[in-house]
Amino acid sequence: MSQEPAAAAPPAGEQAPQDAEQEEQEAPERKRQEAWAARKALIQHGPSFVMSLGRTTSATQVGRDQLGVSGGTVHGNVNNYFGGVPARPEHLSGVIRPEEITQLAEVFRGCASFEKALARLRTERIVILSGGRDTGRCSAALMLLHRATDGGPVRSLERPRSLSALPDRLDRAEGYFLEDFTADRSSPVREPQLLGLREQLEHSGGHLVITVEPSTALDDVPFVRWEPPPPEEMLHAHVTSRIGEAGWRELCGLQQVKEFLAGQHQPVVLKEFAQRIVAVHRGEADAQVLTEYSERAIGAQVTRWLTDGQRELLEKAFLISLAVFDKAPYAVAAELGDALYAGLQHTADPGKPPVIPVFGVFREDRLRSAHARGYLDTEVTEWGVVGQYIAEFQEERTARTLLETVWNLHPSARPALVEWIDRLAEDRRPLVRTRAASATALLATADFSSALAHLIEPWADGRNPDSWLMAANALTLADLLGVKTVRPLLRDWCTGEVESRRWTAIRAYSLLGPTAPEETLDVLLDSIRQQPQPEPVDEDEEIPESVHQFADALELLLLAVREPVLGRLAECLGRERTVREHALLAFLKACRQAEEPDGRPLVLHWYAQARAGAEPDTERHLTVFWKALLADRTTNDGALDVLSGWVRRADGEPETESALAALLPAVTAEPPNDRRVGHRLRGLRDSPPSPSPSAARLLDLLPRSS
């Protein structure tokens, strides 16, 4: 038998140029992803260091939201004292383990807001605790219930859509904890809901604490604002529970401790610093460890991880993968970490094939070695919510420090890292693609020129719109992370002649719109005006891709910023033909979007809110747009299809029919809109086998000429 080896396949992430070109030519054309769906995927799957930059409480609200989400939960034995960043509970109802509350009680110290909340809980059996994230509001809630129930069981409740759904669950004489409930201004917490809850609690003998963000809409209902104890008291509680009052007096005068307390620290950081104080007191470490703590300690730990000759390359690859997929499913980080290892191994020793122990790594040991933790949580997918085992670093700054260190201090790893991120960008999972963009954004903060040359520009110059979206997402996140060179680059690309780069810049501008809406709209409109005057489009002719690009950008800006953009675009409808075409298509796209999870049409709900909230300008602008949609020959069919969907939804939803009952007479006051809408409603009314009753009622509201 011949001993000559067969031709080796290229390593992971590497492909012969001619093969890649042929594969690209033979690949089927991908379906164009909707801009709003792509935006939601970016927000939904972004890592914590990106999410924290946003200012909104919901990624899918119409109102002035930015890239980001909010909320924080607490679970496990790291819950001892304040809550904050530690691992979170499963989003399922269940009794919290008594030993967790016992550990918390050992270090908990009250304060004025705690005593006020406890008094209200004992007399009224329900209290809403409002406070910022990472302030210990959740741990305070557990201690409130522990005290009010005299050490009785405490049950964590699954978060309902409305407080009205809670009374049936409060049927036992125990403490109930509803963590991080959210309510927006369209559906605020109201006093009748609390009265119903209090009545049920008095009947069952239970107590309920609800924690909320300060931004939660509370319709004049009583609440207690959570103000945690001073940092010195928190640190004192942790230290004295371990080494007593004498040990604290011995160490609290150290300069390192005084400097630490002079800063603002999250409760979890205070807890970890207390552990080092205890180690110094017991002679297990010297005072130098206190000086090295915080940022320098994280950097030192990362350096030790990467340069430790005893740590296998496979585990170093996992660390880098976990930095990209921090607070994401462990299985994804592990799977893709193995792929990165293959590339790194090829760099280290091209002649040695990578060997991956398929069943040889114990998950908990691996996480412990990475100073990470795992917990059960849920992941939102396009098919619904699924359970996942999530992995995250114990110190949230580790992920960013690790990626920056690899990129800047270990450039030999760059080729494999770039190939790996490119592979992530082509993954079919939205989470993976989004994390590839966010990792690139972090690398851009460390070395913008290199990240641009190795990743962003190749994506922007690619032939596939999916790669353009990757470049746009990466630039968007880099700008949000403070890279000042992004905006000049976007302005240059937006007015340049390279179509793919122009598309990339337009999409990035639309995503960044809420951070600077006036500037963004000006840039987009100027770019539209500089485009060649479009030829009239026949009804059966496909709309040019360039028009779709600008319409997508305006759609995202319109839904995220709302009235300021709506008003400016409405002014352009009758004055600028070029802008009108793009604005109408953008508004039509926006009308097709729906809220999650109830599926309410975003624009129709916006119209109903404007009428209810006495916002005549918004109501008028939305009506003007709808009149223009129905009157324009290129958009009237699409507009009528949207109305048909709304009418069908109104058959089972009175709120939708009520909004349509106000909108349709306003947009059909003049011909030919009255005839077009009337014809469509009659078709729905008489449609076999399921005629629409709401269409019949709405038809009666139109002018008789329809």
Paired strand residues for 386: 379
Q: Is residue 488 part of a domain?
A: no
Q: Which residue in the block uniquely carries the two structure tokens 């605790």?
A: 129
Reduced to 3 states (helix: H, G, I; strand: E, B; else coil), residue 600 is coil
Which residue, 244, 271, 293, sits at the end of a domain?
Answer: 293
Q: Determine if residue 553 is left, alpha or beta; phi over 0 gives left, psi from -120 to 50 gives alpha, anything else beta.
A: alpha
Q: Is residue 339 part of a domain?
A: yes
Nearest alpha-carbon partner for 546 in 570, 527, 564: 527
pTM over 0.85? The answer is no
Dist CA 429 CA 450 (whole Å) = 26
The two structure tokens encoding residue 325: 């997929």
The two structure tokens encoding residue 87: 């691992």
| DSSP, res 452 | I
pLDDT digits (tens, 9 = 90+) for 128-163: 998 865 678 888 999 999 999 998 999 999 888 788
Nearest alpha-carbon partner for 376 in 386, 362, 361: 386
Q: Is residue 8 part of a domain?
A: no
Confidence of residue 647 (pLDDT cuts 50, 70, 90): very high
Which stretch of 302-316, 337-351, 598-612 has the lowest confidence by average pLDDT? 302-316
pLDDT digits (tens, 9 = 90+) for 693-703: 999 999 999 87
CATH number at 99 reads 3.40.50
Reduced to 3 states (helix: H, G, I; strand: E, B; else coil), residue 565 is helix
pLDDT digits (tens, 9 = 90+) for 620-643: 999 999 999 999 888 999 999 999
> Do 265 and 320 share a domain, yes or no?
no
Paired strand residues for 18: none
Do 248 and 236 meet the contact criterion of CB atoms below 8 Å apart?
yes
> Do 269 and 361 share a domain, yes or no?
no
Confidence of residue 311 (pLDDT cuts 50, 70, 90): confident
- pLDDT of residue 166 exceeding 80: yes
Do 556 and 35 meet the contact criterion of CB atoms below 8 Å apart?
yes
Q: Which residue in the block uniquely carries the two structure tokens 């329900």?
A: 126
> Do 264 and 186 share a domain, yes or no?
no
Which stretch of 27-41, 55-69, 399-413 has the lowest confidence by average pLDDT? 55-69
- pLDDT of residue 525 exceeding 70: yes
Q: How many CA atoms lie within 13 A of 610 on its CB side?
A: 23
Do 177 and 96 meet the contact criterion of CB atoms below 8 Å apart?
yes
Which residue, 225, 240, 255, sits at the end of a domain?
Answer: 225
Dist CA 667 CA 603 (whole Å) = 15
> Do 256 and 353 share a domain, yes or no?
no
Dist CA 590 CA 556 (whole Å) = 8
Paired strand residues for 328: 391
Q: What pLDDT is stored for residue 32 in this prediction?
A: 53
> Do 81 and 221 share a domain, yes or no?
yes
Dist CA 179 CA 133 (whole Å) = 12
- pLDDT of residue 214 exceeding 80: no
- State mean pLDDT over 11-30: 43
> Do 380 and 419 share a domain, yes or no?
yes
Dist CA 359 CA 374 (whole Å) = 19
Q: Is residue 143 part of a domain?
A: yes
The residue among 576 and 412 whose pLDDT is bigger is: 412
Q: What pLDDT is stored for residue 551 in this prediction?
A: 86
> Do 189 and 163 share a domain, yes or no?
yes
Q: Which amino acid is at 507?
A: R
Complete DSSP assignment for 323-340: HHTTTEEHHHHHHHHHHH
Through-space distance between the first and last CA atoms of the chain, rounded to whole angstroms = 86
Q: What pLDDT is stored for residue 409 in this prediction?
A: 93
Which residue, 358, 390, 425, sits at the end of a domain?
Answer: 425
> Do 221 and 110 share a domain, yes or no?
yes
Q: Determine if residue 54 is left, alpha or beta; phi over 0 gives left, psi from -120 to 50 gives alpha, anything else beta.
A: beta
Neighbours of 661 (CB within 10 A): 16
> Do 218 and 100 share a domain, yes or no?
yes
Do 474 and 43 meet the contact criterion of CB atoms below 8 Å apart?
no
Do 92 and 158 meet the contact criterion of CB atoms below 8 Å apart?
yes
- State mean pLDDT over 49-69: 35
Do 385 and 379 meet the contact criterion of CB atoms below 8 Å apart?
yes
CA distances (Å), 681 to each of 539, 625, 664, in order? 22, 20, 11
Is 652 buried (19+), middle (13-18) or exposed (0-12) by CB count in 10 A? exposed
Confidence of residue 192 (pLDDT cuts 50, 70, 90): confident
How many domains does one find in the chain?
Answer: 3
Q: What pLDDT is stored for residue 71 in this prediction?
A: 33
Dist CA 701 CA 373 (whole Å) = 60
Q: Is residue 564 part of a domain?
A: no
The two structure tokens encoding residue 508: 């990035």
Q: Which amino acid is at 672?
A: P
Q: What pLDDT is stored for residue 66 in this prediction?
A: 34
Domain of residue 165: give its range. Answer: 77-225
Is 429 buried (19+), middle (13-18) or exposed (0-12) by CB count in 10 A? middle
Dist CA 325 CA 432 (whole Å) = 8
Nearest alpha-carbon partner for 562 in 606, 611, 512: 606
Kindly list the strands in the beta sheet with 154-156, ordered across the sheet, starting from the edge strand earlier in the chain: 94-95, 154-156, 175-181, 207-212, 126-130, 224-225
Q: Is residue 111 part of a domain?
A: yes
pLDDT digits (tens, 9 = 90+) for 72-108: 333 333 333 333 333 333 334 688 999 989 888 888 8
Neighbours of 581 (CB within 10 A): 22
Is the CA virtual torsion 56, 62, 66, 70 positive or negative?
Answer: positive
> Do 273 and 412 share a domain, yes or no?
no
> Do 335 and 246 share a domain, yes or no?
no
Burial 511-530 (b: 16+ CB within 10 A, else e): bbbbbebeebbebbbebbee
Q: Is residue 71 part of a domain?
A: no
Q: Is residue 57 part of a domain?
A: no
pLDDT digits (tens, 9 = 90+) for 246-292: 888 888 888 778 777 765 556 777 788 888 888 888 888 887 778 77
Q: What pLDDT is stored for residue 49 in this prediction?
A: 43
Reduced to 3 states (helix: H, G, I; strand: E, B; else coil), residue 361 is coil
CA distances (Å), 231 to each of 5, 272, 290, in order? 66, 13, 16
> Do 350 and 327 share a domain, yes or no?
yes
Q: What pLDDT is stored for residue 134 in this prediction?
A: 60
The two structure tokens encoding residue 459: 């994506």
- pLDDT of residue 705 exceeding 60: no
Torsion angles phi and psi, residue 594, rounded to 5: -130, 155
Q: Which residue in the block uniquely carries the two structure tokens 């150290």?
A: 254
